[in-house]
């Protein structure tokens, strides 16, 4: 029975090892693409390709259900502008019907050089590197499962923690990619530290598995000493 159990563990380790290797190869290709793209953009003259962007916001205010309807509405600054999500809107058209107020606001067009996308490629490459590091840890973990005689070893239990810790830089790099992309396209740098519940759940589960395997190591040690 134990022999069949270990065969299944080793087989699962082989499958996981193969899948993680494929993911690593894809990430290496993505990293190379970032490097090549960065080199090509570096060769482009600064002002040869310019991109102009603008943003539009549609706002609807319902004043009929407000406790103080006279205080509800779209208020602008003295210079006739307002900010929304860090973007300044200074071109707007406000209309109103009975109990409701509508506004279509536009931001001042923002122009940036295509070469500025080098910053995005740089942080994108950094994200790929953090993912490569995480998948290296995952690949090593599956190698241990593939070759082990028992899954309850200190090395395997510790590697679960290493996998969980390896995903922390991935989350930080993801924040930077979003912030730098917005900065290049809008000129506004806004680092939003969001909580990815899926990633948090994955890290918590992996840490729980680490403790479970540590407990399994302790039970196996006690069993071996008893025998």
Ordered by start, the domain boundaries in the chain are 2-45+114-226, 55-108
**Cβ–Cβ < 8 Å for 49, 114:** yes
Question: Both tokens of residue 209?
Answer: 């598995």
Question: Both tokens of residue 118?
Answer: 């080098």
State how far the Cα of 82 lies from the Cα of 76, in Å rounded to an integer: 5
State how far the Cα of 183 lies from the Cα of 103, in Å rounded to an integer: 26
- Entry pTM: 0.71
State how far the Cα of 209 lies from the Cα of 151, in Å rounded to an integer: 12
13-22, 138-147, 170-179, 192-201: range with lowest mean pLDDT: 192-201
pLDDT of residue 125: 93
Question: Both tokens of residue 175?
Answer: 């924040």
Residue 18: how many CB atoms within 10 A of its CB? 13
- Does the pLDDT value for residue 226 go beyond 80? no
List pLDDT tens digits, range 128-157: 999 999 999 999 999 999 888 888 888 888
- Does the pLDDT value for residue 112 go beyond 70? yes
**Cβ–Cβ < 8 Å for 112, 185:** yes
Residue 204: how many CB atoms within 10 A of its CB? 11
- Per-residue pLDDT band for 6 (boundaries 50, 70, 90) equals confident
To the nearest whole percent, how much of the chain has pLDDT over 90? 25
State how far the Cα of 125 lies from the Cα of 121, in Å rounded to an integer: 6
Which burial class, exposed, middle or buried, applies to 145 when counting CB atoms under 10 A from its CB (0-12, 13-18, 19+)? buried
Nearest residue to 98 (alpha-carbon basis) of 68, 71, 61, 67: 61
- Does the pLDDT value for residue 76 go beyond 50? no
| 3-class secondary structure, 67 | coil
Query: Which residues lie closer than 8 Å to 133 by C-beta, 6 or more apart?
Result: 166, 169
Give 7 or 126, the one with higher predicted confidence: 126
Mean pLDDT (whole number) for 108-129:
86
| 3-class secondary structure, 190 | coil
């Amino acid at each position: 029975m134990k022999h069949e159990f270990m065969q299944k563990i080793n087989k699962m380790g082989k499958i996981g090892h193969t899948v993680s290797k494929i993911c690593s190869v894809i990430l290496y290709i993505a990293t190379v693409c970032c490097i090549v793209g960065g080199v090509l953009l570096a060769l482009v003259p600064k002002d040869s390709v310019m991109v102009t962007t603008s943003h539009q916001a549609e706002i609807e205010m319902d004043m009929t259900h407000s406790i103080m309807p006279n205080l509800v509405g779209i208020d602008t600054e003295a210079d006739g502008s307002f900010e929304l999500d860090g973007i300044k809107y200074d071109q707007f058209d406000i209309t109103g019907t009975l109990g409701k107020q509508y506004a279509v606001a536009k931001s001042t067009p923002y122009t940036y050089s295509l070469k500025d996308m080098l910053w995005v490629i740089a942080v994108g490459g950094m994200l790929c590197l953090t993912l490569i590091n995480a998948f290296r840890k995952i690949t090593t973990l599956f190698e241990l499962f593939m070759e082990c005689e028992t899954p309850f070893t200190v090395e395997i239990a510790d590697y679960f923690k290493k996998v969980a810790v390896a995903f922390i830089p991935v989350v930080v790099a993801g924040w930077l990619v979003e912030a730098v992309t917005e900065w290049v396209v809008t000129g506004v740098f806004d680092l939003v530290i969001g909580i990815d519940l899926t990633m948090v759940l994955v890290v918590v589960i992996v840490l729980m598995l680490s403790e479970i395997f540590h407990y399994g190591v302790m039970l196996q040690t006690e069993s071996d000493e008893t025998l």
